[in-house]
Amino acid sequence: MGVEGIGARVTRKEDKRFITGKGRYTDDMVVPGMKHAAFVRSPHAHARITNIDASAAKGMPGVIDVLTGKQIKADGIGNLICGWMIHSKDGTPMKMGAWEPMATATVRYVGDAVAVVVADTKAQARDAAERVEVSYEELPAVIHAVEAMKPGAPQLHPEAENNLIYDWEIGDSAAADAAIAAAAHVTEVDIVNNRLSPNPMEPRATLGVYDAAEDHYTCWTTSQNPHVARLVMSAFYNVAPENKLRVIAPDVGGGFGSKIYIYPEEIVCLWASKTTGVPVKWVADRTESFMTDAHGRDHVTKVRMAFDKDHRITGLKVDTIANLGAYMSLFSSSVPTYLYATLLSGQYVIPAIHANVRTVYTNTVPVDAYRGAGRPEATYLLERTMEIAARELGVDPAELRRTNFIRSFPYQTPVIMAYDAGDYDASLDAAMKAADWAGFPARRKEAESRGMKRGIGMSCYIEACGIAPSAAVGSLGAGVGLWESAEVRVNAVGTIEVLTGSHSHGQGHETTFAQLVSERLGVPIDSVSIVHGDTDKVQMGMGTYGSRSGAVGMSAIVKALDKVEAKARKIAAHLLEADEGDIAIENGELKVAGTDKAVPWFQMALAAYTAHNLPDGMEPGLKETAFYDPTNFTFPAGCYICEVEIDPETGKTEIIQFVAADDFGNIINPMIVEGQVHGGIAQGIGQALLEGVHYDETGQLLTASYMDYCMPRADDLPSFDLSHQVTPCPGNPLGIKGCGEAGAIGSPPALINAITNAIGTENITMPATPQKVWVAMQ
Amino acid sequence: MSEVTMTVNGRKVSGSCEDRTLLAHFLRENLGLTGTHVGCDTSQCGACVVHVDGKAVKSCTMLAVQANGTDVMTIEGLAGDDLHPVQAAFREHHGLQCGFCTPGMIMAATDMINRHGPGNLDEKTVRGELEGNICRCTGYHNIVKAILAASEAMAKGAGAKAA
Amino acid sequence: MYNVTYHRASSVEDAAKLAAGAAEAKFVLGGQTLIPAMKQRLAAPSDLIDLRHIAAMKGVTDSGGGIIIGAATTHAEVASNADLQAACPALCHLAAHIGDPHVRHMGTIGGSIANNDPAADYPAAMLALNARIVTNKREIAAADFFTGLFETALDEGEIVTAVKFTAPAKAGYAKFANPASRYAMAGVFVARSGGSVRVAVTGAGDNGVFRAENLEAALAGNFSPSALDGQTIDPANLMSDIHASAQYRAALVIAMAKRAVAAAG
């Protein structure tokens, strides 16, 4: 590897602007004549709108207009959609209720948009929004998924009887039942996966600009996938045809899934810009983010796992009820199905698996993918179940896992996935060694002498990243393809621009992607620029989520680089009067192997553009495009170990050590990969220990600010001990598996297994707050 | 409306704003200094931290009129010809990802090092001192590392200019 | 935030005069609680009268017989004041753990006690130290000053200018913070002067800060953590919310009381 190539710990090219305050986020954008929007939102979880009187608001200082759902509907703007069709096991399609960008008749969660005020300043818009008088007729609300399914529960959408969206299954129910019936031991566990708010530090924001002269719209927005946003706004919401709509996602301050989706605010601000004739900006405050950003997780599950007398797993049966909130968000339907139940084999040979999943509407914020998306839910239930089984069977938890590890690849699970490569023993061994697992009993004894309860727990996770190939996901109901695009432009002086459909909102693509180009073409990373996030600059792409940008986005760049190299070789061979097959590209030169004949990279590039001396019939220029559609998912896996100490007087958990041993396949920049794991673990620890969305029974959101929603802070966390084991992914040219979500997937069960080990009872749910731990210990 | 005059990053500036205007918004909207961010409504996330008269404060919890007559330093004013050692350490140790919390983190970290004295920080102290700054990307691991490294570098004389 | 008119007072008298002339004035010192409340439109004063620049309200004096802390003294200043470190280090410790460093640079002791947030730290110290709250009109014993949730004995337009107390022989403070807000979920200040022990609890009571008389009695004879073994706090008068039930808060109060006594030495 070179100092800037694959495998190098290169500091990030993008950092300079961020550490000097020169980042450009959506809220930093100012355009001439720009005005500010404030939304009027429902204070009720469920109500009929009987009247909207905006007359007082319209007379407030600075107010340009107050617009409502009836107006946006009259202008032909469509309802929000869910882009993944799931069929119930009886063959019927999922029951999608209408989600209007601003409600015209019924509001279904606290925060549902009802009207928008456009005014000179944000403060004036908010002043006026308070003066819009909306009359409501309150309806009974239902918050919990299990309650929503019961007869007589409040009904959210006429399309969905008993609020049931779909009743879906995967696997062989009879085989799983038979395994359970014949088992030497069955472990039964009730699992609750808590509801979370993603909380990127940059609140969502959008700036809609309508240009009447060109009949053209520009949408600046906090998006992880601007092209998907344009596609959806154009094809489904009728905002404008694609060629009349430019979507720009500039620097974006974190996403974690919550900025994948197209929300009402983008649509409304674009439309309002045309309606009012002024550019309209909206920036969420944090409470608005809690009330409107898609939440994550919120499952309840019954698990039965069957073992034979040798402690081999013979079957797994899972029954899950997932809360999707008041409306179906963009990819919400796929999360508790194909992103969840397909991972229920974990790292283990399980001959028979069956999962039944029911999703329901409730009067809560829509629920969609949040870092991990389905895979944390699968891992949590499997790894809690394995731990409890080991305790019931009286065997070492590591040994029980080893007894059941998959060791032969490729491995076809009973739930669609075909694992391509892995070495689960290697991660387990590395983690146990790093954690000094063997020394734990002595440490526990020492803690006891201080009156503290010490516990240790592990988790062996698998995930599936780079969701693909497009034809396969299409057959499972996806409304989009899941490929990625890249364009490599070699300029006439040899500098390079890579235009990628991936979007960086903290992942460091500007550096990692440049390292790939540097490795391949032997040019310094400073001469490589990564362009992303603008539909006018970059051809159609699919964006960044699901840990896909390395495995899929960079593979597209590899494909484009292959084409660039092939043409560059032809030009060099022509210039050097050599055979194309003898040309090697290294250290900024194209040379004839085994000779001292060479042409510098920039000279070859210049030759491509002067076109004075090109091979016969060759087109001038050097710019290539590629679309890469993977052949399979990738399967990162690893083992996490957590050790905790609990204060029995207060129930407070302190994390003493946290060890992560991950197999991400090949790694481009270890520094950036480690950073992804650190952040993922912190979010996983947040889920397990600190974070939880609470509603009261009437549907009021009780955790609507950082006063009540507990974000992990520096003193909640330890430093982390990381290592990497490498089995390259055979499915893509770089051997990359993806690293963005692993930390959030693997960590919650390790932490809860440690806490339950410390306190000697399994009866605790996430987040294991001091109060819950204290109660469990009483 | 009030006329507000203050020294920002060494330059005397004035502007007129409503009395309800927060210092953070005055910096961002009146002065175009958009490095100072607003990430919450409850004075907890610290994305807005700037120095007022040499002390770290949350600019979302101070009115611009309260800051009238003060000396304000924002992230844009921290570097001289070279990066401040704290900025350099954040880059060197990958103490940032999305960059949104970073300006507040760096301003908090420089204040922390100034108060404790360069070279006088340990991990536990740094973690405790970061109570008022939330980061969602890094898990704080590399932020802590960066602050400790900057503290040591400053003890050895790097970028002796106190921020 | 709603619109507001800001005034910078040059003296206590000036402040009182400005307040008298306003429709609905509020005094602001550090503003670390008031401004967030205004941002969320939970507080809507017509006029904001800034007391932060009144020199007479700043600083710490230890006259031997009594300690006076000016109301405009910030938490950071209290935490690092050498006289206070010598006279009552527990108060410095308390101040050093309010909010975060940035909040401590702005927030003041006077602002905190005048606001009387039921989860604020200073009220517990004032009550346990038997402090007197000095205003521009009178002196009020802490026991009479804190009257309920966000309620004090202050009259309209009355300004807290300082607090006064006699240094205790021993004192300690321990709090268990709300994991999210980091305000006290149970904060206990213990102070021993001669044979008398006062124990004040913040963050837990459903009517704000209160004295735990049974704990005081137990500690009067034996000022050690073990004296609190078997003591309980009645949950009936404690707050209950999503973070902590009254029962849990009751247990935390005992745990924090023991730690406060241990810290007092």
Q: Using CA atoms, how far apart are residues B69 and B7, in angstroms rounded to an integer?
A: 7
pLDDT tens readout for residues A310-322: 999 999 999 999 9
Residue whose pair of structure tokens reads 């009973």 in the numeric block: A414
What's the per-residue H, E or C state across A310-334? CCCEEEEEEEEEEECCCCCCCCHHH
Structure ipTM: 0.97
Mean pLDDT value of segment B116-123: 97
From C41, C181, C248, residue closest to A771, measured CB to CB: C248
Q: Are residues B32 and B63 in the same domain?
A: yes
The verdict on residue B98 lying in a domain is yes
Residue A96 pLDDT level (bands cut at 50, 70, 90): very high
Answer with the one of B76, B107, B123 that is the final residue of a domain. Answer: B76
> Does residue B163 lie in a domain region?
no
Residue C119 phi, psi (nearest 5) = -110, 10
Mean per-residue pLDDT, A545-552: 89
A707 contacts C180? CB cut-off 8 A: yes
Burial (CB < 10 A; 0-12, 13-18, 19+), residue A76, is: exposed
CA distance C223 to C234: 22
Cβ separation C102–B62 shorter than 8 A: no
**B-interface mutation test, from A25, A201, A289, A509, most B Cβ less than 10 A away:** A201
- Determine the residue among A20, A252, A739 to mutate to test chain B binding: the one whose Cβ has the most chain B Cβ atoms within 10 Å: A20
| Cβ–Cβ under 8 Å, residues A509 and A428 | no
Q: CA-CA distances (angstroms) from residue A559 to A473, A553, C35?
A: 22, 10, 55
Q: Answer whether A770 sits within 8 Å of C176, measured CB to CB.
A: yes
Q: Are residues B139 and B101 in the same domain?
A: yes
pLDDT band at A2 (very low <50, low <70, confident <90, very high): low
Contact B43 C1 (CB under 8 A): no
Average pLDDT over residues A435-447: 98
Give the model confidence (pLDDT) of A496-544 as tens digits: 999 999 999 999 999 999 999 999 999 999 999 999 999 999 999 999 9
Q: How confident is the model at residue A1 (pLDDT cuts 50, 70, 90)?
A: very low
B30 and B61 both lie in a single domain: yes
pLDDT band at A718 (very low <50, low <70, confident <90, very high): very high
Contact present, A464 and A375 (Cβ < 8 Å): yes
* B120 CB neighbour count, 10 Å cutoff: 11
| Section A123-138 average pLDDT | 98
| Contact criterion met (CB below 8 Å) for A110 and A43 | yes
Interchain CB contact of B46 with A (< 8 Å): no
Q: Is the pLDDT of residue C198 over 70?
A: yes
Same-domain status, B71 and B89 = no
Q: Which residues of A touch B74 (CB under 8 A)?
A: 21
Please, what are the domains in chain A?
31-139+201-254+259-292 (3.90.1170.50), 299-468+632-777 (3.30.365.10), 483-628 (3.30.365.10)
What mean pLDDT is predicted for residues A61-85? 97
Domain boundary (B52, B76, B100) is at B76
From chain A, the residues in CB contact with B136 under 8 A are 199-201, 254, 256, 679, 683, 711
What percent of chain C clears pLDDT 90, i.e. is strictly above it? 97
In a domain, B45, yes or no: yes
Q: Helix (H, G, I), strand (E, B), or coil: what is residue C221?
A: helix
For C252, the closest chain A residue by CA position comes to: A650
Break chain B down into helix, strand, coil percent, rounded to 5.
40, 15, 45
**Which of B140, B142, B143, B148 to mutate to test binding with chain A, by most A CBs within 10 Å of its CB?**
B140
On the 0-12 / 13-18 / 19+ scale of CB atoms within 10 A, A581 is exposed
Mutate to test the interface with C, among A288, A774, A777 (most CBs of C within 10 A): A774
Among C190, C203, C172, residue whose Cα is nearest residue C265: C172
Q: Are residues B72 and B89 in the same domain?
A: no
Tell me the C-alpha distance between A295 and A105, whole Å. 24
Whether the predicted pLDDT of A373 surpasses 50: yes
Within this chain, do residues B57 and B97 fall inside the same structural domain, yes or no? Answer: no
The residue that leads in pLDDT, B55 or B158, is B55
Average pLDDT estimate for A643-653: 98
Indicate the pLDDT class of residue B139, thresholds 50, 70 and 90. very high
- Residue A22's pLDDT is what? 98
Q: What is the pLDDT of residue B162?
A: 46
Residue B42 falls inside a structural domain: yes
CA distance to partner chain A, nearest, from residue B123 (Å): 9
Chain B residues lying within 8 Å of C35, measured CB to CB: 22, 43, 61-63
Confidence of residue C195 (pLDDT cuts 50, 70, 90): confident
* Domain presence at residue B162: no
**Within a domain: residue B117?**
yes
The domain in which residue B21 lies consists of: 2-76
Instruction: Kindly state whether residues B90 and B72 are assigned to the same domain.
Output: no
Q: Report percent pLDDT > 90 for chain A.
A: 97
pTM comes to 0.97
Residue A468 has pLDDT above 90, yes or no: no
CATH code, domain carrying B148:
1.10.150.120
Hey, are the CB atoms on A707 and C181 less than 8 Å from each other? yes
> Within this chain, do residues B64 and B94 fall inside the same structural domain, yes or no?
no
Report chain B's mean pLDDT, rounded to a whole number.
96
* Both structure tokens of A482: 């899941």
For the segment A550-573, the average pLDDT, to the nearest whole number, is 96
From B113's Cα to the closest Cα of chain A, the distance in A is 17
**H or E segment to which residue B64 belongs:** none
Same domain, B58 and B92: no
Q: Which of A73-77, A431-435, A545-549, B93-97 has the lowest mean pLDDT?
A: A545-549
Tell me the average pLDDT of chain C. Answer: 96
DSSP state of A55: H
B141 and B96 in a single domain? The answer is yes
Indicate the pLDDT class of residue A467, thresholds 50, 70 and 90.
confident
Q: What is the pLDDT of residue B163?
A: 46
Residues B127 and B90 in one domain: yes
- pLDDT tens for A164-223 read 999 999 999 999 999 999 999 999 999 999 999 999 999 999 999 999 999 999 999 999
Q: Give the domains, in start order, of chain C with CATH numbers.
A: 5-50 (3.30.43.10), 61-166 (3.30.465.10), 170-264 (3.30.390.50)
Residue contacts between B and C (CB atoms, under 8 Å) = 79
Whether residue B57 is contained in a domain is answered as: yes
Measure in Å the smallest separation between the Cα of C257 and chain B Cα atoms: 23
- How far, rounded to the nearest angstrom, does the alpha carbon of residue A92 sit from its chain's CA centroid? 28
| pLDDT for A13 beyond 50 | yes
- Segment A54-82 shows an average pLDDT of 97
> Quick check: B160 pLDDT over 80?
no
Instruction: Judge: A286–B138 Cβ closer than 8 Å, yes or no.
Output: no
Residue B160 located in a structural domain: no
Q: Scanning every residue of chain C, which has its alpha carbon at the shortest distance from the alpha carbon of B65?
A: C6
Number of other residues whose CB lies within 10 A of the CB of residue A165: 26
Which residues from chain C sit within 8 angstroms of residue B63, using beta carbons?
Answer: 6, 31, 35, 48
**One domain for residues B71 and B92:** no
From the CA of B43, how many Å to the nearest CA of chain C? 7
DSSP 8-state assignment for residue A465: B
Chain C residue with minimum CA distance to B63 = C35
**End residue of a domain, out of B14, B47, B76:** B76
**Domains identified in chain B, total number:** 2
Work out the average pLDDT over A679-684: 98
- The CATH number given to whatever domain includes residue B62 is 3.10.20.30
Q: Scanning the structure block, which residue is given the tokens 């009268």?
A: C49
Give the C-alpha distances (Å, rounded to integers) separating A682 from A155, A456, A772.
37, 18, 20
The residue assigned the tokens 């410390």 is A758
User: Given a cut of 50, is residue C263 above it in pLDDT?
Assistant: yes
Question: How would you list the strands of the sheet with A589-592, edge to edge?
Answer: A583-586, A589-592, A598-600
